[in-house]
Structure 1
Amino acid sequence: MREILPSLNGWYAAGRPFGLATVVGVSRSAPRGPGAAMAVGPRDEVVGSVSGGCVEGAVFELAREVLESGQARTETFGYSDQDAFAVGLTCGGEITLLVRRVAPEEDPSFGALAEAVAEGRPVTLATVVDGPAPRGAGLAVWADGVTGSLGAAGLTAAVTADARGGLALGATGRRHYGAHGERREDDVTVFLQSFAPPPRMLVFGAIDYAAAVARIGDFLGYRVTVCDARPVFATPKRFPPGVEVVVDWPHRYLGSTRTDGRTVICVLTHDPKFDVPLLTEALRRPAAYIGAMGSRRTHEDRMARLGEAGLTGPELARLRSPIGLDLGARTPEEVAVSVAAEIVALRWGGSGTPLGATAGAIHQDHTPRELSGRTAAGEGTS
């Protein structure tokens, strides 16, 4: 939903109700994950997507009905893979949608959500999907505040505690409760959707490859910072708009900034005087991905120097080097695709194998996994 929030907030601020369809459950090779959203606003304007085009026509009509009636509904769209093309759900699988009307006078939680996201504050939106509690009732929860209600005080308190506990992880999914907040599987279903600030991508080495990696990182939704100690190279005009450019020694900057379990670190300097102190710092702090550019000879020399600097085996095992997947890349843009491919594959548990050479569901899991820290000794160069 994040990508369509500006449009939704514009309608909301203007007091114009809209119908909001949100994916709250998926199975098999469903095209989009939980939290994907589509909205129908004034004059039948549509933003967003819940299936990449498969069932949007039916969802459009459903959202219009809900917008008119004000009664939230849940609907499931799913067909066998064999029959999917005939009925329009070309990827097979199954998606369950919650469709509800959103208006300022009815849903204060949505305004609180939009404000928190705009300010970069982690927030979770909890919405009743099914059960005796009011379907579509919403609750916006952040670290030190709550807006909205799910009806029963016990249910609201239990969901608030769970939503707050998942803020750091950015967890999204369904939870089940008793009507008063008890842990039960047969009463109230609540969809918890977390909105954490965009993850960071830190690119070290302001070379031409860095500009391409920064561009694709921005495209993938990262908040990108490029750092280099050489002011002649670290200039904003060499990088895409919106990319932060810092002139500083890489290890010093990294030591002074915050990283977490979603941060991506790309070391493109392949110069020992920069690499060794930088990677010594990087491999000892939270990060989802740490990759370093260079040939296999450079990699071997770098690993020896890092060992001499005191890094342990488990710390060294976190390094992805040579950086990227083996795509046969040559140009900076191709190398950036290679790096992005490795990051995406690790995030979602992909193998990097051509889909035509695999069997089974294409979309294995819509929950990002902890990125692996395995060495890349057996991988090709970028």
Structure 2
Amino acid sequence: MLQRYGVSDESAFAVGLTCGGILDIFVERVDQASYPELGEVAADISAGRPVAVATVVAHPDASRVGRRLVVRPHGQPTAGSLGSDRSDAAVVDDGRGLLATGRTETLEYGPDGQRRGEGMQVFVASYAPVPRLLVFGAIDFAAAVAKLGSFLGYRVTVCDARGVFATASRFPSADEVVVDWPHRYLTAEVAAGRVDSRTVVCVLTHDPKFDVPLLEVALRLPDLAYVGAMGSRRTHDDRLKRLREAGLTEPELARLASPIGLDLGARTPEETAVSIAAEIIALRWGGAGDRLSAQAGSIHH
């Protein structure tokens, strides 16, 4: 059953709270008969394989409430059913979209999965691997970016071809430190399926022999969440010239955030890391990067 609990603003004010709120609680029985897929879902989560569970939490037909569909990425099998082929097809399609971005949402359809209808509510819980932050260039700025990236919930990898700089002791906040040529490492990670639409790439070496081959690979990947490169205006112009000579198109070059970060007046590596993180967050959620005090209306997107 789905139970709603709520407190009005007036009632909240009366007891000293700043505002009211509503909380929906869905209660279901879980055992081997009612949830035979639970073991496989738990195994997927433990192994870091993306999986989503779609559950009908409201429906005009009470017998459909609690029906469940396990959704996996394209090309992988689903399990269970929400009660009809049409409902299953609609929720698999939408669920895979949510899973690709690691989002959990409640979706609404018509009773038989009609996209513009209402009456059937489906809660899609996504269990996706932690998004990745790939930092290329084992410099002081990289250590600060790795620390802030870890704080924001990314799995952080620092990669540099120079083994004398790329050491675990210099980057304690990183989940892994890799000694390899950046473009070769990124190519291998793409081939292994470990790069997705939530992956963030920060290129901090500002050395053409590393940057240009790496950016050739990164900017030709249309689904990366963010590709940023450090350097001065002069470095940026020279980098664009080299990338055009390498055959990159203007739409591909438009994906590059360079010089990297927002204009915060940053000076230290830590402040620069904040400006980079701010740009990543703004692009992820559609923020403009302006001061909230200079805006009107809702502060939440």
Shorter-chain-normalised TM-score: which range? Answer: 0.7 to 0.9
Q: 8 Å contact 1:100–1:136 — kept in the other structure?
A: no
Is the partner of 2:261 in helix, strand or coil?
A: coil
1:350 is aligned to 2:292: no
For residues 188 and 16 of structure 2, the distance between their equivalents in structure 1, rounded to whole angstroms, comes to 52
Which of these residues, 191, 195, 201, is aligned with residue 123 of structure 2?
Answer: 191
The answer as to whether partners of 1:203 and 1:225 remain within 8 angstroms in 2 is yes
The one of 5, 13, 27 equivalent to 1:100 is: 27
Q: Secondary structure at 1:257's aligned position in 2?
A: helix
Q: Find out whether 1:272 has 2:208 as its counterpart.
A: yes
Three-state SS of the structure 1 residue aligned to 2:196 is coil
How far residue 154 of structure 1 moved from its aligned partner, in angstroms, is: 4.3
Shift of 1:145: 4.1
Check 1:124–1:356 CA distance in 2 against 1; reply closer, same or farther (3 A cut): same
- Structure 1 residues 178, 285: CA separation in 2 closer, same or farther (over 3 Å shift)? closer
Tell me which of 174, 178, 184 is aligned to 1:252. 184
Is this contact kept in 2: 1:226–1:245, CA < 8 A? yes
Distance across 1 between alignment mates of 2:124 and 2:291: 34
CA contact (8 A) 1:283 1:290 kept: yes
Does residue 222 in structure 1 map to residue 151 in structure 2? Answer: no
Tell me, yes or no, if the aligned pair for 1:108 and 1:147 is still in contact at 8 Å: no
- Cα distance in structure 2, aligned partners of 1:163 and 1:221: 25
Specify the SS of the correspondent of 2:296.
Answer: coil
Residues 104, 111 of structure 1: 8 Å contact kept: no
TM-score (norm 1): 0.66
Aligned to 2:46: 118
Say if 2:45 and 2:127, in contact at 8 Å, map to a contact too: yes
CA distance in 2 between partners of 1:156 and 1:115 (Å)? 26
Q: Is residue 142 from structure 1 mapped to residue 72 from structure 2 by the alignment?
A: yes
1:308–1:164 Cα change, 3 Å: same
Q: 1:257 to 1:196 in 2, by over 3 A?
A: same
Q: Any residues of structure 2 matched to 1:171-190 within 5 Å, and which? A: 172-183=104-115, 185-190=117-122
Q: CA deviation digits over 1:116-138, x for unaligned, max 9?
A: 22211111111222122454444
Counterpart residue identity of residue 45, structure 2:
V
Task: Please name the residue that 2:230 is paired with.
Answer: 293
Counterpart residue identity of residue 205, structure 2: T
Report the equivalent of 1:232. 164
CA contact (8 A) 2:71 2:96 kept: no
Length, aligned pairs only: 290
CA contact (8 A) 1:155 1:177 kept: no
Structure 2 alignment gaps of length 5 or more: none
Distance 1:175 1:204, change over 3 A: same
CA-CA distance at 1:110 after TM superposition:
4.9
> Structure 1 residues 113, 79: CA separation in 2 closer, same or farther (over 3 Å shift)?
farther
Alignment of 1:3-14 (within 5 A): none
Using a 3 Å threshold, how does the CA distance of structure 1 residues 123 and 113 change in structure 2: closer, same or farther?
A: same
1:234 Cα deviation (Å)? 0.8
Q: 1:84 to 1:307 in 2, by over 3 A?
A: farther
The answer on whether the counterparts of 2:146 and 2:174 sit within 8 Å (CA) in structure 1 is no
TM-score, reference length from structure 2:
0.82
Look up the match of 1:157. 88
Amino acid at match of 1:141: V
Q: What's the CA shift string for 1:54-97, capped at 9, x where partnerless?
A: xxxxxxxxxxxxxxxxxx324265867x99766777478x6552
> Partner residue of 1:306?
243
Check conservation: 2:95, 2:124, Cα contact below 8 A. no
Question: How far apart are residue 273 of structure 1 and its match?
Answer: 1.7
Q: In the superposition, relative to structure 1, how do residues 95 and 332 fare at CA in structure 2: closer, same or farther (>3 Å)?
A: farther
Tell me the CA shift for residue 340 of structure 1.
0.7
The Cα of 1:294 is off from its aligned counterpart by: 1.4
User: 2 CA distance for matches of 1:256 and 1:307?
Assistant: 24
Using the TM superposition, give the Cα deviation of residue 155 of structure 1 relative to its aligned residue in structure 2, in angstroms.
6.7
**What residue is the counterpart of 1:9 in the other structure?**
none
